Structure 1
Amino acid sequence: MDTFLLLMTLVSIVIVVLGVSLFKWHAFISLLVASLFLALVSGLSLDKIVAAYETGVGGVLGHLIGILALGTILGKMLADSGAGMQIAEYFIRVFGVNKLPWAMMLSGFIIGIPVFFEVGILILLPLVISIHKSSKQNILLIALPCIAGLSIVHGLVPPHPGALAAISIYKANLGKVLLYSLIIAIPAVIIAGPLFAMWVNKRVVPAGEPELIRITTRAKDLPGTGISFFIILLPVLLMILSAVAPYLGLTAGIAKILIFIGSPIIALLISVFVAYYFLGMQKGMNKEAIKKLTEECLLPVGSIALIIGAGGGFKQILIESGVGDTIARMAENLSLSPLVLAFLIAGLIRIATGSATVALTTAAGIVSPVVAGMPDVNLELLVIATGAGSLMFSHVNDAGFWMVKEYLGLTVPETFRTWTVLETILSFVAFGGALLLNILL
């Protein structure tokens, strides 16, 4: 039964890929058909199929839909006002075209620490597209280092939820995990970011162009570099303030207010209104122009929201059908060191369910009883090994896969050759770093 379930999971993934690339179905349709196929062949009862699918869609979109909309509006304001172009030209002037991948890696790494991966993409995307337009470089050379920076901190570094959950489950020391994760993340992001981007940009030239945010400056005069940087960093600054508020010795009321305004959706809403004023009204855009701009950029959000929601539905069907449990049982029966076991279980659950956070927390729950009686296990490195496993081989059941594809204007094969490979490099290099530190400590 286990082998049959894994085989049917593989077939369902093939259905998604063939549906999009061969039959030219919309990705939403492909994901929905694959979800129904897997649900039926795995024996899920008919009354549970729709409920599971709706739970998966709601679970992803409930968190993301407002962030997607506001992030896209902010990106469009940065693009159409010329603020993105101002920052792009500043980066090109300061770092030079040859060092752009390194500058973008640093941007992604720093901005990724306080924000979710999806929020980071939406904050940095207009900057990526502006630099792509100004420098005439392959967009992969600019985007991939940036995405690598966002992804590695999302998978390994506290205060991201997966890492915090694993720390809690393993009872590891948060400070040590933070220190070790930063040491391990730096070489991983260098290899999977600028170095991989410089290699792959000569081999993959995207056939399409980014469609969701187009650079068509409407402002009568460009904003200054300072205000441009302030607005792109404002949501990040608000989220950082929210994260540190409990430790500033403030009154409970003020701390609650700071935590509220630093939640991603509120931080982005505030940033959108600041952008409306400084990048819109002050630069000659009237209310009608701002309203039209907002409506234009919200229309394409519908398509990506459907795709991401369908990916969430597919993920939930995978979970409900027992694929994650099957993989976990198979890996648990192997006689391996705790670090290798945690990495493998997290990796296999990630491949099966598409969620790094689900993979990290599920794997930690499985491995923690195994290591409970082992006194010599480095629990902090165990957290990192589990996090590294949770990053590998992102594919069609991962919302991140579709975000990268849609926002960078890639085809499905191009996304596999770039994003999927990047995530797998991050995973294995970070795991190698954990093993090396385990030997040295």
Structure 2
Amino acid sequence: MYHLIITLLAIIIVILGVSWFKWHAFISLTVASLFLAIFSGLSLDKIVGAYETGVGGVLGHLVGILALGTILGKMMAESGAGLQVANFFVKTFGVKRLPWAMMMAGFIIGLPVFFEVGILIVLPLVISLQKTTKQNILLIALPAIAGLSIVHGLVPPHPGAIAAIGIYKANLGKVLLYSIIIAIPSVIIAGPLFAKWIHKRVIPEGEPQLIKINMSAKKMPGTGISFFIILLPVILMIFSAIAPYTAFPDSAKKLFVFIGSPLIALLISCFAAFYFLGIRQGIDKKGIKSLVEESILPVGSIILIIGAGGGFKQILIASGVATTIADISQHLSLSPLVLAFCIAGLIRIATGSATVALTTAAGIVAPIVQHMSGVNLELLVIVTGAGSLMCSHVNDAGFWMVKEYLGLSVKETFKTWTVLETILSFVAFGLALILNMFV
């Protein structure tokens, strides 16, 4: 109980630091990490090392992706490619059906890519649509984000789901089938339906700052090339995902896996954008360099915030909070599906990482269900994934990405993103329990 109280106080420090003391989120997260480490009894000589490990762990994967994704977004915004795609969506679906179109876009783009990469691909399009239609950005953004999030949490080949399948020894094909059956109604409720309700109640005070759309581009690229650039990283990542299952020689498979890794796929896409959206549109080399520098400067702030969030997460793990929560959950007499959901949810709240919550919870629950009969292992994977989505808050990189890229305040991010994630979590859990009655 002491661990839980200290964790709660650390989270309150982050929120008060940002909203009341007006500290930068990086400072708030760092102070909260130190508070948690000291009061949880973590040895003084281990505190800085744990914090640095957490920062390095999250930024090692994200820093290049964030920079390249923002450059790609800037090229789409400045060249008018984002507007071309936005205009196509408006003409094809109409303004009223845009939330549904964005939900589909997020769901499809999210299948081969990490959540963070998907956000950087989708948000220039979201901001372009908002500028074109003059609607509340939440109405367009939340369905897209919901689509990205649900596939990240539940659907293979995302790493958390794949790891849980291996730990539980579940059938990959069945998990894929059940996860899509559960994901579609979940994303409809948490995406377009929730967005239509919340956008009337939350009007963002700020404007998106990291990606600014050029509404006056005189010579815009064609719709086809605009779609090609936005989908190029997704196409490369799909090739990477399917290459190991093809009859290609090993050298070709390795090449496809290499160029389909998020960092390389985004790098290739940036060079394609430099040519098709830059040089061919009359922007010279100096102009492209200037655009790159403009887009990279604001990324420094979000990299600091995400890094500090990673440090906070690692302090939670090193101080034993995640283990305490797991132990408390394990002693409750619950059905395996409910137990897996609760443990994953509590670890997610404690550590902020959906993948850590999913894999840790699976590791705890697997030995418990090993000797039980009648447990649906495929649905066990899905409820663990559902639990790993709930209550995203200040220790989650996704929370800060959504806040910074959409120009929201901390309070607005809690009201929208945190609620959306929790709806996804509980709806998917409920649907899994219903499906468990029939399969």
Is this a same-fold pair by TM over 0.5? yes
Aligned ranges 1:8-47 → 2 under 5 Å: 8-47=6-45
1:93-141 per-residue CA deviation (whole Å, 9 max, x = no partner) reads 0000000000000000000000000000000110000000000010000
Per-residue deviation at 1:46?
Answer: 1.1
Corresponding residue SS for 1:275: helix
Aligned ranges 1:1-80 → 2 under 5 Å: 3-80=1-78
1:130 to 124, 128, 131: 128
Q: 2: distance between equivalents of 1:329 and 1:44?
A: 19
Q: 2: distance between equivalents of 1:328 and 1:248?
A: 40
Corresponding residue SS for 2:297: helix
On the 8 A contact 1:219/1:280 being kept in 2, the answer is no
Aligned ranges 1:321-340 → 2 under 5 Å: 321-340=319-338
Aligned ranges 1:415-434 → 2 under 5 Å: 415-434=413-432
Q: 2: distance between equivalents of 1:133 and 1:218?
A: 12
2:370 to 352, 369, 372: 372
1:216-254 per-residue CA deviation (whole Å, 9 max, x = no partner) reads 257541000000000000000000001001112000011
1:379 partner letter: L
1:21-69 per-residue CA deviation (whole Å, 9 max, x = no partner) reads 0110000000000000000001111110000000000000000000000
On the 8 A contact 1:220/1:284 being kept in 2, the answer is no
Corresponding residue SS for 1:440: coil
Q: 2: distance between equivalents of 1:252 and 1:366?
A: 36
Per-residue deviation at 1:176?
Answer: 0.1
Aligned ranges 1:281-292 → 2 under 5 Å: 281-292=279-290
Corresponding residue SS for 2:362: helix
Per-residue deviation at 1:412?
Answer: 0.2
Aligned ranges 1:248-287 → 2 under 5 Å: 248-287=246-285
* Mapped pair 1:230 → 2:228: yes
On the 8 A contact 1:81/1:218 being kept in 2, the answer is no
Q: 1: distance between equivalents of 2:424 and 2:48?
A: 35
* Mapped pair 1:152 → 2:142: no
1:168 to 166, 169, 174: 166
2:251 partner letter: G
2:10 partner letter: S
Q: 1: distance between equivalents of 2:218 and 2:290?
A: 17
The RMSD of aligned alpha carbons is 0.7
1:379-410 per-residue CA deviation (whole Å, 9 max, x = no partner) reads 00000000000000000000000000000000
Q: 2: distance between equivalents of 1:37 and 1:216?
A: 44
1:309 to 307, 310, 313: 307
1:110 to 101, 108, 111: 108
Aligned residues: 439
Unaligned runs of 5+ in 2: none
2:282 partner letter: G
% identical aligned pairs: 76
On the 8 A contact 1:81/1:217 being kept in 2, the answer is no
The two structures have a TM-score, normalised by structure 1, of 0.99
On the 8 A contact 1:104/1:143 being kept in 2, the answer is yes
Q: 2: distance between equivalents of 1:94 and 1:218?
A: 22
Aligned ranges 1:177-256 → 2 under 5 Å: 177-216=175-214, 220-256=218-254
Q: 2: distance between equivalents of 1:66 and 1:84?
A: 22
> 1:83 is matched with which residue?
81
Q: 2: distance between equivalents of 1:359 and 1:277?
A: 41
Corresponding residue SS for 2:298: helix
User: Which aligned segments of 4 or more residues in structure 1 are displaced greater than 6 angstroms?
Assistant: none
The two structures have a TM-score, normalised by structure 2, of 0.99
> 1:356 is matched with which residue?
354
